[in-house]
Structure 1
Amino acid sequence: MEEAGREKEVVIPGEVLGKASDLMAGRGAYVAPHNNLVYASLTGFRRIVSPPLDSPVQDQRPTVEVTHHKAHGVIPEPGSVVLARVTKVMAKMASADIMCVGPKSVREKFTGIIRQQDVRATEIDKVDMHLSFRAGDIVRALVLSLGDARAYYLSTAQNELGVVSAESTSGATMVPISWTEMQCPLTAQIEHRKVAKVGG
């Protein structure tokens, strides 16, 4: 395998790498069927690999790959369930650092955004972000899409999604008592959250 493009060009998820008619999508790349363009699916170095000598004559396209600049970890993708730590809560959205995709921990930093309309499935217009999440909460969320290049849009609108672990102001791990409330075991103080349903 000979590397044709030796320049170390860093690309980010969603960046166009070329046309599918000119390039085959390798690791870290995918073809969008609606426009036949090849996009990067992860952050890393763009690399063009010449076709192997024994490839069929009719398909002599080089392969474009995105190779990680660090050890290859799991990548959040639309439809995957992630665990994330809330870092900031604002009026219309909360931001969070994605820690795990499914059971696997991530090796690089991915940021998620939970928008007001994605917190729950009902009474969306009445959602108060500050009564749903607090900084430091661990939430289970569904990846909706790659929002902009810097953050994934996350949803907690299903019953089993939402806050799975939260600390009270006293520093104790709170116990869920309803789908909107958690209680501190030390002080019995109740705090509002969008709680993830546990079990069936």
Structure 2
Amino acid sequence: MPSDCLIPGQPVPLPRGPTLQLGSGVYTRNGETRASLLGTPQFHGSTLSIHRVKPHPPAPNSVVVGSVTRLSPQQAVVSITVVDGVPLPPGEDFTGVIRVQDIRATEKDKVRMGDCFRGGDVVKGLVISLGDARSYYITTARNDLGVIFATSEAGGTMEPVSWQEMRCPKTGKVEKRKCAKPEGL
């Protein structure tokens, strides 16, 4: 996704200078100009509009984000909702599979699926192949890949404390996960 791509509702950075007329894909709320479409800002003379970015299906080396829908001892099934930073339209999600051997790069024989993911976890992964006709194979075997959002048993938003543990801020209880290294660290 282009680095200047905006999602609906996000403020549009405006250049200094004369007042712009609003074209398609933008609106003003509380004095702030915002995007109403997924896309990049375009300036045509004195008119600002948003050029729509069309999502594409996953391909090998695509970075995807999705939520875990099913677990078994050998694999986690993920409903992919974001491909290369572009959210998919509602109802157009894809299915991904994280096999137990694709979770970590080392000590693959010691990996237990239940210690890495839970149902509902939001996972960032990399597509490694197209799999079968119904799904894509995904890996989390890099430091920046893994669980990026999880809810504890008590209903709190979990915070990563290491690459393999997250803590509930409500109860302080630690749960095992294969965490993605937070961006910026």
TM tier relative to shorter chain: 0.5 to 0.7
Deviations 1:161-188 (A, max 9, x none): 0000000011111000000000000000
Are 2:142 and 1:155 aligned? Answer: no
- Unaligned runs of 5+ residues in structure 2 are 1-53
| Residue correspondences, number | 129
Among 148, 160, 167, the alignment partner of 1:164 is 148
Match of 2:27 in 1: none
Q: What amino acid is aligned across from residue 186 of structure 1 in structure 2?
A: K
- Give the match's secondary structure for 1:117: helix
1:109: Cα distance to partner?
2.3
Match of 2:127 in 1: 143
Residue 74 of structure 1 contacts residue 105 of structure 1 at CA under 8 Å; is this kept in 2? no
Are 2:80 and 1:87 aligned? Answer: no
Are 2:119 and 1:119 aligned? Answer: no
Q: What amino acid is aligned across from residue 121 of structure 2 in structure 1?
A: D
- Unaligned runs of 5+ residues in structure 1 are 1-71
Q: Please report the RMSD computed on the Cα atoms of aligned residues, expressed in angstroms.
A: 1.0
- Give the match's secondary structure for 1:148: coil
TM-score (norm 1): 0.63
Q: What amino acid is aligned across from residue 89 of structure 1 in structure 2?
A: L
Among 92, 99, 104, the alignment partner of 2:86 is 104
1:138: Cα distance to partner?
0.4
Are 2:117 and 1:133 aligned? Answer: yes
Residue 85 of structure 1 contacts residue 137 of structure 1 at CA under 8 Å; is this kept in 2? yes
**Of the two, which has the highest radius of gyration?**
1
Are 2:158 and 1:174 aligned? Answer: yes
Residue 86 of structure 1 contacts residue 134 of structure 1 at CA under 8 Å; is this kept in 2? yes
Residue 86 of structure 1 contacts residue 97 of structure 1 at CA under 8 Å; is this kept in 2? yes
TM-score (norm 2): 0.68
- Give the match's secondary structure for 1:177: strand
Q: What amino acid is aligned across from residue 132 of structure 1 in structure 2?
A: C
Q: More deviation in 150-159 or 97-106?
A: 97-106
